[in-house]
Structure formats: structure tokens, C-alpha cells
Structure 1
Amino acid sequence: MEKAPNLLFIFPDQFRNAAVGINDQDPVHTPHMDKIAREGLVVNNAISNYPLCSPYRAMLMTGKLPYNNTVLSNCNSNRYAFNNSWQKEDVSFSDVLVANGYNAGYVGKLHLTSPAPIPGLDSVIWDAYTPMEERHGFGFWYSYGTFDQHHKPHYWVNEAPEEQLHYVEEWSPIHEADVIIDYINNRGQGIRDPDKPFAMFWSVNPPHPPYPLVPEEYLSRYADQPIEELLLRGNIGSSSEKQQLDFHPGATGDGVEAAEKHVREYFAMVTGVDEQIGRVMEALEANGLADNTIVVITSDHGEMMGSHGLMSKNIWFDESINIPFIIRWPDKIKGNQRSDIFISATDVMPTMLHLLGAKTGLPDNLDGRDLSEYLLRNSEDGPDSAIYYYIEQGDAASGHRGIKTSQNTFVIAVGMDGQIREFMYDNINDPFQQTNLLEEDGPRREKLRERLLRQLEEKEDPWLQRYLALSKA
């Protein structure tokens, strides 16, 4: 009988697709990820449909869109009143894995629980403890909510109560790689049933800010490189664009000055995370597990890093929504392949569970699709578009919607004042999305709008009725 494959699912935070060296965009050093990519399949059009930490993670875990899983925005104490958390009742990725005989482990940042406010405390609480009964079957737990002290991370480990935090004096990716290597070796706190396959989810916080929190050994690689050799994208900075986007509270308008200050640190973080991924891959090899372990490298969203005069994420441009998706499985997937199909966040759960053969108990009400056959055959007749979402806290019908295809990006933005704005870009002839073609191509815009609205209607998106009402007013 064929042994079920293991899964190692790695998703560094705020890691854009351009920052994988093999993609030949950012001048960043990622030899280990490049090697994994050469040994597997690279999906060029992996999309973070709602490029923000918590909404992406909820879509990943539930296979459902934000208005169907209640995580409409980032989890923190301000959103506690909206029940903006991973729901215990949602049968999730890890629930299905465990039901199909897998050991399931989670290491790193979760950011799927909105903690209750503390009376009398004015500041927003971001970090959160996730009780064992709300961990959806994860048997090994080495995690936290969200806490951006990369040089002194903390974790709740397995059955530890909320008051028992484990602090570490080490850069978090290095420490977490040690923890995962122990798990692969089946020792330390990561003891698992060796007769069962394992599924390990590793959410590395870097390259998420604060960018200065990176070891000097990685920063030194970029220290002497001129800024113009680092910020290579043709859309770095644009004050007119920035003004046009002032209505949108997503990506921050810190612009080129912030990018010049932090780009070395961002790339250094990517290189440091890459080195730790290499260490974990060596452990798989040493244990004879590399060939029958599906390794996925992806992210929750990207980073603007000065493009369009913006920093951060949560906007529709490629620097924000286009994420890596590298899948390596030597037993089933040939190396040195690329695919142009579109993979959305909601597709990942059903796709991976079908690849693993872990389909018992898979819910039938998912918003995502099983794309496993397209990956196994590297077929190009799969999905050719993905939807973009931005939602205001607590209001599923609010915000913006868009559609991304290989040819175009088209967005309908509905501001808090009810004003409707549209944006359309030609991704082939204008790959840096610098020119809004709103007035230049009416027929194409109409076709894209019709396609977007049709897909939103199929998904019963509550935004659609608000938009239609405003557009007729």
C-alpha cells in the first residue's frame, strides 16, 4: 500500500512573489527556495485575494471567503465585538487532516483570534491565546497570535495555559526552524506518532515588520548595494498616484523614503528565512522524507516597498496580491515547471487535501476549488482569474472588489462616503500597473465589470447589492 505523503506548508508573512530569487525580479538571495522551485512547480499567479494577515489565514484554513467565515479584517481587540475570529464550528484544513489519520502541527504566527478588550486599557490588543478546543485538531502547538518582537519571540507550547508564555532570546525564524527540525526528527516537544503521516504548518513572521529586527549576518549581504540596485521596479514612487489613492485606508503612504530606509532589511529577512528553510529541508533529507513530503512555500500577502508610493499591503497591486506558490513533491510532480493558472487562497485547502488523499470529511460548502489535477498534470486550462477583496471591519458588504486576469486588473472601489471609483490596468503592456485606463478602453472595462459582477453574484457576495444600489442612485 502506498504510504500517504507528509505535508510541510511554509508561509512567511508579507513575502511577495517578486522576492523569490528564481523569479528574477527583486535582487534578493534565496538559494534554498530557488532549489526547491527548480525541483518542483512554480505557480506564477498565486493570489492573496484579500492581502491582509488574518483574512488570508482564515481563507486558507476554512476554504471560505471572509463573509462566510466571519474574519472580515485583521484580528485584534477592536474586532472582538464583531466575532472576527476563526470559528470553532468551521470544519477546517487541520480538522480534515486529523480525521484522515494525520499528525498536525502548527509553528509560528496564527493571528486568527480577536482577544477581548481589557476594561480601562486604551491600547489595541493584538496578541491572543487560542484555547486547545479552538485549535482545530492541531496536536503539536508552538504558536502565538501576533507579536512582532522577532529577536525575542514568545510562544504558547502544547497544553500550556494562557499565563504560561515561553520566551526565547533568538531570531524567531532560527528558533522555529530548530523546533520543526525536532518535530521531523521526532524528539523534544514535538513527539508525534511515527506510524502516521504528518502535516506541519510553519508561519514565519519575518519578513513582516519591524524591518530593523534582522540579524547582521543577513543584513551585511545588502549593506553596500546602492538603493537604485535594490529598488528596481519601474513603479517606485508616484506622488500623483498616492494622492489618487488617499481615500483607501489599506497600504500606507510612507512611500519611497520608507522603502529606501527598509529595503535592505526586507531582503535580508527574506535571505535569513531562506537559510532556515534550507536547514529544515536538510532534516527532511536526513530522515529519508524528502521525496514523499509535499513542500509548499507561499505567503499571506506581499509588500509594496515603495511601489506606487506605498508601503505595506492591503491593496490591489501585484506587489501586494501576487504571492509565491512553490510546490515540490518529487514522487508525483516533475521539477523545472511553471504554471500560469490562478490559485486563490480558498483553493489551497481543497487542493492540498486532494493531493494528500485526505478527503474524508472534507466540507462540501467551500468557496474554493480543488486544483490538484491541474498541478499534477501542469495543465494550463485551469482558473484564469481571481477576485480581490477589501472589507471594512464588521461590515461584509463594504469596501472594494476587483478581478485580476493575466491581461488586466479591474477594481471597483466603494468608499466609506458611498463614492464609486474604478481602476483598470493592462498587465501585459503596463506590467507595473502605472496607468489607469479608465477613460481609454470602455468596451474592455465593461466586459471586466460584467465578469466581476457575475462572479460576485455566483458567490452571493453581500457587497454586490450595496454596489448596485449606489450605482443606480
Structure 2
Amino acid sequence: MTAAPNLLFVIADQWRAGALGFLGEDPVLTPALDELASRSRVLTDAVSTYPVCSPCRAMLMSGQYPHRNGVPFNVNSATAPDVGLRPETRCWSDVLSDAGFALGYIGKWHLEAPVDDDAVYGEGRRDDGKVWDAYTPPEHRHGFDFWYSHGCCDNHAQPHFWVGDAPREEVLRVDQWSAEHETDVAVDYLRTAARHYRERAQRFALVLSYNPPHQPFDHVPDRYRGRYEGRDPRDLLRRPNVDWGTPAAAEAADAAPLYYAAITGVDEQIGRLLAVLDDEGLTGDTIVVFTSDHGMQLGSHGLVYKNVPYEESMRVPFLVSWPGHIEPGHDDLLLGSPDVAATLLGLLGQAGNRPPAMQGRDLSGQLLTAGGPETAGRPEAALYIGPGRENLRLDVRGLRTRTHKLIVEAPPGEPLRHRLFDLVADPYERTDVAGDQPDVVASTAELLCRELDRTGDPWPGRRKVEQELVARSHR
């Protein structure tokens, strides 16, 4: 069993943490992930630092926060033209490429700013007039030498891909469910990588980025739907913070059977990947990670989708397996999105090559049975970044500890707004206790300021928070 492993990193879009069968939160069937969890460290408190697609993905790749990596908003033609993961940013994949790894990327990327030609090729313009899907030039691929990807194509039933060095005009269109097709490609990649690993001792790192269970929800194959159709919506949406009788609850009730069906379908595909690792004798030599970029509200708090600081949107699955090196079990380690890049480098023996600009914490020492050199201790909290009421303004910051969550909104020209949730007494965040627990607000705000300082966050509300703390100390 090698001390220098391979990596299989699987990310599914919009898969909330509770949607794993073994957790018993959502009534969803995930037998493959249940089995993987039995031999994984399951991080029950892993969070999406900014729970929307492009910003989270940029943090996962770069280990930098949005104000550093160039992706403060979703990448589409309606955002500023310079929004996109900068080619000069050193990602964990760049480090592995330099170290001689074979690198593969399959599926959704969504980190490239669209150009005019992207309105013609690929997905084209959507009904809202925006171009979301974009071709990624080879020099923008951050070390991935095998490329089978799209920018952001939401046609799961008939996806398309740019393959290898094909130009923007040469798009491969496929008549197959995207998750199944991408797994077919990944299976072939893993078998070839296994041969090269045996013959040349060349390690590999494969990212498989599924778009489902992201909407459109009706693009899921019929064979998965029957397991959830016809069930009482209140049985599917069991969280007590679902606001029944609202339009959001009605929309969520329609979406839930299909959302869960897509999850079960993706789980089946993940089972195929794990079977290949077993067949090729690679299970013991490969770190397997499963996670998501963000969750989904599904009717909780009167909301359906994401990009809000509630647990349904912010908390994500995070399973990491490396038999003999990572002890299985549940762990409340507070891992945020930027921590993933540095932690992967630590697990893969590349901590010494970590780019200086990488801001995330290397938590590999908290995961490895034997520990790790010079890795971070257990974090006290995880940062939240999000939009306020105005479009394209990141007015909100928050902090999630193991016991509380503080959300602070700083609308321009107005006083700060605080919300505090006691996650122990109120795990569904139904009651704002900021007025009842001022000491917790103050102590958490102090910790928030330290995190903002650590990350160099330019948030204008930072000064207001500090002024409040000073005023409180003089009372």
C-alpha cells in the first residue's frame, strides 16, 4: 500500500448534506455512498463557504477566497467580463501536474467567462438572455491533460462536451443522461490510468463533476423515478422548517421526487466507479472524495434553491476514504470550501509545494491516522460569504461554529443587521436569538473579524462590526 496515493474527486451539483441515505435526514436511497461512508471519514459539518456554483468551485480549485481568485459571482455573460478563474492562479491541479500526475477532468467546469462565440456554440443563450455555457481554452485548464468537459450545460438528457484539444466549434453532442455518459468516460479513464500506474508508476488525479441533481429536475431517467413518485410530499420533505402552504413548498413538493431520483441515479454511477477501483486493485492506493458545491433549500424557510446561509444550502456532503490511512467515522471538523485545495495537497504528499497565495487551511493532519506535518489545528469556525439584497453586491458575511451561526448583513448606508442561530437547541434555524444571546453575538463577531483579517477580506461591514464591539466594551 503506497504512501503516495492517487485521487478520485467526485463532485455533484446542488446535493445537500442531508441527502445521504445513511444519515437518515432525507428519505433518499444512496447504497453506493452508504457503503463508501462505512470506510470513509464523514465530515458532518463541511460547508460551502459561498453556496452557489462558480464561486464555490473556484475556491475548491484555488484554495483562495472570491476576492482573490477572480470569481465573486456565478460566471455568465451578465456578470463583469473579467469574472472567471484566472489562468495564472495556481490551483491544486497545477501543483499535481508539475509533480508528474496524470490529470483528468470530466463534466461541469463553470469557471470560464463566456465570450461572444459561446452564444453560438455549446448551449447558446437561455430564455433569460444570458450565456452560461462556455468553452475553456487549453491554457485555462490548470494542468488537466485529459479534458472532457462543458462550461455549464443544463441539458442533462442530451449533454455536450468539448473533448481534448478540439476547438470551440467542434462540440460533441450526446444522446444519453449526462451522469451515465460521464461515468462511462470516467470508467475508461480509470482503467487506462490503472495500467499506467502499474506499468509506469504514474499517479493520477481524476475529477468527475456531475451536473445532476441540479435542475432541470425532469431530466432524470424514468428508471429512477418510480422509487419516489406518488409519495406524500410531507414524507419526502420531513424537515420541520418547510413552510407548508407557501409557493416554495408547492414547488419543492413537485421537485423532491425528481431531485431524489437524480441523487439515486448519480449514486448508482458512483458505485460503478468504486467497482472499477476494486477490479483494478486501486482501492487501497486511491483517495476517494465525494462532495458538492452547495445544497438546496427544497422548501425550507420558504425557499427552493441556494445562495443563502441556511444549513440546507450551506452544508454539503464530504466523504474522504483512503483505507489504512484515514480512519472511518463521523467527524465534526469544520472544513470550508477554500480548505479543500490545501488539504488535498497535504493528503497527496504535496504540502511542501503549496502555492503561497493559497489561503485555505491544510486539514490533512486532522484526517490522516498518523497525522501530518505542519498542518492546521481543528478550526473554530467556517466563514460564510453571500449576497445581500442588491444584485452583484457581497453584503453578507457569517460564521458557523459547532454551536452557533452568526449572519451579519451590511447594506450600504444602513445599520448592520444580525441574525444568530443556536444550532444545538435549534438545528433547523427557526428562531433568531441575537437579541437573547448578546454575549454570543459579541464573541462570534470577534471571531468573525479574526477570520476576515486572516483571509484579507475587503468587506466594508468589517469596520462596522469592530465599531460595535468597541462600543459594547465601553458600556
TM-score, normalized by length of structure 1? 0.90
Corresponding position of 2:104: 105
Q: Give the deviation of 1:418 after TM superposition.
A: 4.0
Residue pair 2:449, 2:462 contacting (<8 A) in 1 also = no
Corresponding position of 1:318: 311
Alignment pair present for 1:348 and 2:340 = yes
Q: Give the deviation of 1:238 after TM superposition.
A: 7.0
Give the 5 Å matches for 1:277-296. 277-296=270-289
Corresponding position of 1:51: 51
Match of 2:407 among 406, 411, 421: 411
SS of residue matched to 1:125: coil
Residue pair 1:453, 1:464 contacting (<8 A) in 2 also = no
Cα root mean square deviation, aligned? 2.8
Corresponding position of 2:149: 143
Alignment pair present for 1:36 and 2:46 = no
In structure 2, what is the Cα distance between the partners aligned to 1:384 and 1:469?
Answer: 19
Corresponding position of 1:367: 359
Residue pair 2:399, 2:405 contacting (<8 A) in 1 also = yes
Report which stretch shifted further, 404-413 or 351-360.
351-360
Corresponding position of 2:368: 376
Corresponding position of 2:302: 309
- The Cα offsets for residues 287-338 of structure 1, whole Å up to 9 and x where unpaired, read as 1111111000000000000000101110000001100110111131233x11
The verdict on how the C-alpha distance between 1:314 and 1:104 changes in structure 2, with shifts beyond 3 A counting, is same
Alignment pair present for 1:267 and 2:284 = no
Amino acid at match of 1:347: D
Corresponding position of 2:5: 5
The verdict on how the C-alpha distance between 1:153 and 1:291 changes in structure 2, with shifts beyond 3 A counting, is same
The verdict on how the C-alpha distance between 1:363 and 1:452 changes in structure 2, with shifts beyond 3 A counting, is same
Alignment pair present for 1:72 and 2:78 = no
Corresponding position of 1:173: 179
In structure 2, what is the Cα distance between the partners aligned to 1:419 and 1:314?
Answer: 22
Q: Give the deviation of 1:460 after TM superposition.
A: 2.0
Corresponding position of 1:235: 241
Corresponding position of 1:334: 327
Report which stretch shifted further, 68-77 or 433-442.
433-442
Corresponding position of 1:385: 381
Give the 5 Å matches for 1:142-161. 142-161=148-167
In structure 2, what is the Cα distance between the partners aligned to 1:421 and 1:52?
Answer: 22
- The Cα offsets for residues 92-115 of structure 1, whole Å up to 9 and x where unpaired, read as 111001111100100000000111
The verdict on how the C-alpha distance between 1:469 and 1:374 changes in structure 2, with shifts beyond 3 A counting, is closer
Q: Percent identity?
A: 39
In structure 2, what is the Cα distance between the partners aligned to 1:392 and 1:412?
Answer: 10
- The Cα offsets for residues 3-27 of structure 1, whole Å up to 9 and x where unpaired, read as 6311000010000110011111001
Corresponding position of 2:445: 449
TM-score, normalized by length of structure 2? 0.90
Residue pair 2:327, 2:367 contacting (<8 A) in 1 also = no
SS of residue matched to 2:33: helix
SS of residue matched to 2:42: strand
Identify unmatched segments of 5+ residues in structure 2.
469-475
In structure 2, what is the Cα distance between the partners aligned to 1:192 and 1:152?
Answer: 36
Alignment pair present for 1:93 and 2:85 = no
SS of residue matched to 1:448: helix
Give the 5 Å matches for 1:457-472. 457-464=453-460, 468=464
The verdict on how the C-alpha distance between 1:359 and 1:373 changes in structure 2, with shifts beyond 3 A counting, is closer
Residue pair 1:107, 1:202 contacting (<8 A) in 2 also = yes
Amino acid at match of 2:91: S
Size of the aligned set, in residue pairs, is 456
Residue pair 1:96, 1:359 contacting (<8 A) in 2 also = no
Report which stretch shifted further, 255-264 or 108-117.
108-117
Residue pair 2:404, 2:423 contacting (<8 A) in 1 also = yes
- The Cα offsets for residues 426-463 of structure 1, whole Å up to 9 and x where unpaired, read as 10000100001122121211211222122212322111
The verdict on how the C-alpha distance between 1:142 and 1:393 changes in structure 2, with shifts beyond 3 A counting, is farther
Residue pair 1:397, 1:466 contacting (<8 A) in 2 also = no
In structure 1, what is the Cα distance between the partners aligned to 2:327 and 2:105?
Answer: 28
Amino acid at match of 2:54: S
The verdict on how the C-alpha distance between 1:29 and 1:465 changes in structure 2, with shifts beyond 3 A counting, is closer
Alignment pair present for 1:432 and 2:423 = no
Residue pair 2:416, 2:464 contacting (<8 A) in 1 also = no
In structure 1, what is the Cα distance between the partners aligned to 2:379 and 2:346?
Answer: 17
In structure 1, what is the Cα distance between the partners aligned to 2:199 and 2:89?
Answer: 26
SS of residue matched to 2:334: strand
Report which stretch shifted further, 225-234 or 23-32.
225-234
The verdict on how the C-alpha distance between 1:471 and 1:117 changes in structure 2, with shifts beyond 3 A counting, is farther
Residue pair 1:425, 1:436 contacting (<8 A) in 2 also = yes
Residue pair 1:396, 1:463 contacting (<8 A) in 2 also = no
